[in-house]
Structure 1
């Protein structure tokens, strides 16, 4: 019975290896995915900056438009004024508006330059993402082919394992499964040099070795709990 259990364990180890291989995503795919994430984060940041700059630019342009209108009204008011005092008041207003307009124009020019610079960065990032996408799609498709192939192998090995497990005593199989899960790999080990556990390398008591040789009951290592097999 332990011979069949050993075959089951070999298949379990093969399943473990296949599962581990499934999780081994190709480095190129990992780095390309990360590159896309980084570019998208950077693009999001730059788009936020662009939006804020445009809002500020729009506010300036609206204020400039309003000031230009009020300056013209003040200029027209000065021309229509009925007295020199009234004309002087309008002229003072016009001068104040003109001063503020000049200040805003001086502030707006670097703002426009900043918008242009950020827009260029945004366009560059979008282009990088567009150029990266076909490569990422190709790598993703290759990865899917790899995973599909591994899944197929997993299913075949699992079916073979299930068929073998059906002919093994359920109680023995349960013990094996419990120990294998607890020990993360081996549930059945051979006795090495007629005295040592093949799992934890502990030197086994003589009566344990003798019990394993008799093969009448399941014998387990008193140290690690693995099922012992006196393979001949």
Structure 2
């Protein structure tokens, strides 16, 4: 900032400090706009958990239904084979053939009985799943309208915040016009790398001076430059320093 006297530099740094307060306010407003209210988060989590549970139940139901359908087809096939074997047995010409058909029919009937025994717990499981699915769907039908209402309420809240942010950004642009461009760019670069704080005050503590940004005692020559109104950065944290009141 060559050609600028100490008083002007101090004023520029003070203006920059005021701009930073505006920037921090904007940061808070943007964070508030991006965050979700606790009630909305809680209901959203409930809905998501129920939807996930419902998806798992429906998947399990589809698997059981597939298995049940497979058993039903096997039973139809075995029943047809049983009838065919009985018809062929009636046409048997010898006792040996009669016995062979009898054995075959018995094997088919044993298999039919096994499938029926397996089908019973499948049906019971499917009925139980239907009850669980109905319960979850009922819970979702009650929660979803609440979630929609909270989302709409939040959208209105965010809309209001965005309007406020737009006004604050306009104020910020007006404030920035009175600050030297080189100093402003330096501040913005530091702010990006230092979690939003690009300029801090230097505070006296006894015979020492400390940086408010990192609380480190500043070297005497650095403190003297700050007192003189020079543009100085903290040698420890790199933030711009402004003499405290």
TM-score band, normalised by shorter chain:
0.7 to 0.9
Which TM-score applies when normalising by structure 2?
A: 0.83
Measure the CA separation in 2 of the matches of 1:38 and 1:208: 57
What does residue 238 of structure 2 align with? Answer: 225
| Residues 229, 96 of structure 1: alpha-carbon distance in 2 compared, 3 angstrom cutoff | closer
Stretch of structure 1 that moved more, 138-147 or 181-190 = 181-190
SS in 1 for 2:202: strand
String of CA shifts for 1:50-80, please: whole Å, max 9, x gaps: 1121122111111111222222222223333
Q: Please tell me whether the aligned partners of residues 203 and 244 of structure 2 are also in contact (alpha carbons under 8 angstroms).
A: no
- Tell me the matched-pair count: 231
Q: Please tell me whether the aligned partners of residues 9 and 188 of structure 1 are also in contact (alpha carbons under 8 angstroms).
A: yes
Measure the CA separation in 2 of the matches of 1:78 and 1:203: 107
Stretch of structure 1 that moved more, 192-201 or 103-112 = 192-201
1:156 and 2:167 correspond:
yes
SS in 2 for 1:76: helix
Which TM-score applies when normalising by structure 1?
A: 0.87
| Residues 225, 73 of structure 1: alpha-carbon distance in 2 compared, 3 angstrom cutoff | closer
Q: CA deviation at 1:161?
A: 0.6
Q: Please tell me whether the aligned partners of residues 197 and 204 of structure 1 are also in contact (alpha carbons under 8 angstroms).
A: yes
Q: CA deviation at 1:17?
A: 1.4
Q: Of the candidates 86, 89, 94, which is equivalent to residue 78 of structure 1?
A: 89
SS in 1 for 2:114: helix
String of CA shifts for 1:146-201, please: whole Å, max 9, x gaps: 22122222111111111111121001111221222232233222232383333233
| Residues 160, 93 of structure 1: alpha-carbon distance in 2 compared, 3 angstrom cutoff | same
Q: Which runs of 5+ in 2 are unaligned?
A: 1-11
Q: Of the candidates 73, 98, 103, which is equivalent to residue 87 of structure 1?
A: 98
1:39 and 2:53 correspond:
no
